[in-house]
Amino acid sequence: MPKASVKTIFGTALRSLREERGYSQEHLAERAGLHRNYVGGVERGERNIALENIVKLAQALSVRAKDLFDALP
């Protein structure tokens, strides 16, 4: 099995936290001021998300940015 990419690991963590909150992708995107398609792309590991959007998503999930990195090296 190939090693999961950084983007995939991050996306999985994001999805997991979002689902814990019971938020749809659309609801999370609205809370963060981002587009739903963008959030979907991040969750699928297709986007190399940058710092400012990482912090926006963390705040929209009521977690700290570092909590999204728990599964990363």
Name the minimum Å distance from CB 46 to a second copy.
Answer: 12
Q: Is residue 35 within the footprint of a second copy (CB under 8 A)? A: no
Residue among 59, 44, 39 at smallest CA distance from 4: 44
CA–CA distance, 7 with 29 (Å, rounded to integer): 18
Asked if 55 contacts 23 with a C-beta cutoff of 8 angstroms, the reply is: no
* Site size for a second copy (CB under 8 A): 20
Q: Is residue 72 within the footprint of a second copy (CB under 8 A)? A: yes
- Which residues ranging from 2 to 31 are in contact with a second copy (CB under 8 A)? 6-7, 10
The end-to-end CA distance of the chain, in Å, is 18
Site residues, a second copy (CB under 8 A)? 6-7, 10, 48-52, 54-55, 58-59, 64-67, 69-70, 72-73
